[in-house]
């Protein structure tokens, strides 16, 4: 049987920890702090379907890891702009946390499928300079760079915005070359929620 076109499958139950963390970070955003939210997606791939079974968090080593600091100083800021000088902006997953998560996934028969990160409606919440650069669920040039560098098959962007006093989200998944992959979310069934 030939492989099918890639698709990302996940459930409300799997997604909920990320959405809760994203909401907490969103509420803490100030015009000077975009407050990132980032996690790793674990699961397995069967016949083109990337089945996400867990979301794992780790620390942001953006300012503490020498390789991350060098990458931002020499590549990211010169390529993508001074906004990335802000140490709160962008994410560099702590290598020790990633190794721990990878070993745990291996022990459970899972693999790291990719990542998920939040794009807040920064063009509404951030400084005046952000107004001209609206975010959404599509990758930014910086995301494209990071997706390509990681090589992970699944890179989910979760756009979070406040509308009529409530937080809403939109998901989109991308391959390392930024070709979009469909996302299918399984709603909680009566049996699954029990």
pLDDT digits 0-9 by tens, 20-60: 999 999 999 988 888 899 999 999 999 999 999 999 999 99
Residue 63 lies in a domain: yes
β-bridge pairing 7-11 and 183-186: parallel
| pLDDT tens, residue by residue, 37-46 | 999 999 999 9
| Range of lowest pLDDT (35-44, 131-140, 182-191) | 182-191
Structural domain including 86 reads: 7-188
How far apart CA 12 and CA 171 sit, in angstroms, is 12
Q: Are 156 and 183 in contact (CB under 8 A)?
A: yes
Number of domains in the chain: 1
Give the C-alpha distances (Å, rounded to integers) separating 56 from 14, 31, 89, 98, 187. Answer: 10, 28, 20, 9, 20
The reply to whether 1 falls in a domain is no
Tell me the C-alpha to C-alpha distance, in Å, between residue 78 and each of 74, 85, 123, 142, 176: 7, 10, 22, 11, 22
Domain presence at residue 194:
no
Q: What is the pLDDT of residue 90?
A: 84
| pLDDT tops 60 at residue 106 | yes
- The domain spanning residue 24 has which CATH number? 3.40.140.10
**Residue 91's pLDDT band (cuts 50, 70, 90):** confident
Rounded to an integer, the average pLDDT of 154-172 is 96
Cα-Cα-Cα-Cα torsion 164, 121, 175, 97, nearest 10 degrees, comes to -110
Q: Indicate whether 2 belongs to any domain.
A: no
- Domain membership of residue 193 (yes or no) is no
What is the distance between the alpha carbons of residues 177 and 91, in angstroms, rounded to a whole number? 19
């Amino acid at each position: 049987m030939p492989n099918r076109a890639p698709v990302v499958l996940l459930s409300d139950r799997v997604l909920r920890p990320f959405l809760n963390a994203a909401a907490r970070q969103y509420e803490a955003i100030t015009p000077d702090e975009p407050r990132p939210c980032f996690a790793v997606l674990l699961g397995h791939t069967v016949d083109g379907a990337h089945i996400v079974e867990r979301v794992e968090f780790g620390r942001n080593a953006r300012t503490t890891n020498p390789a991350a600091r060098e990458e931002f100083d020499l590549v990211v800021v010169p390529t993508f702009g001074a906004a990335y000088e802000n140490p709160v902006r962008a994410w560099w997953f702590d290598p020790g946390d990633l190794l721990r998560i990878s070993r745990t996934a291996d022990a459970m028969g899972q693999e790291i499928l990719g990542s998920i990160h939040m794009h807040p409606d920064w063009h509404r919440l951030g400084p005046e300079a952000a107004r001209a650069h609206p975010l959404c669920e599509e990758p930014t040039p910086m995301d494209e760079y990071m997706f390509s560098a990681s090589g992970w098959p699944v890179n989910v962007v979760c756009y979070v915005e406040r509308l009529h006093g409530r937080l809403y989200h939109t998901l989109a998944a991308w391959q390392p070359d930024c070709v979009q992959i469909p996302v299918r979310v399984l709603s909680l069934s009566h049996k699954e929620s029990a």
